[in-house]
Amino acid sequence: MSDSVYKVIELVGTSTKSWEDAAQHAVETASKSLDDLRVAEISKLDLKMENGKITAYRARVHLSFKYKGS
């Protein structure tokens, strides 16, 4: 196995349904433009509220992918 380098980025996914759905949206969106996704770590969960009601779930996701340097 050769040595590898991975880059980690932070994304915030949102959903009106759940935190899980918010995290899934972040990963699925990232997978459209990034290759070799490896690990996703949820670092923070929060809610958006209006008039005392939940309007959005938000998941902060740290996502790693294999770095292909120039």
Among 27, 15, 29, 10, smallest CA distance to 57 is for 15
Confidence grade of residue 2 (pLDDT, cut at 50, 70, 90): low
List the one residue out of 66, 51, 50, 61 whose CA is nearest residue 26.
61
pLDDT at 60: 98
Locus of tokens 């949102």:
14
pLDDT in tens, 28-60: 999 999 988 989 999 999 999 999 999 999 999
Q: Which amino acid type is present at position 7?
A: K
CATH architecture of the domain with residue range 7-66: 2-Layer Sandwich (3.30)
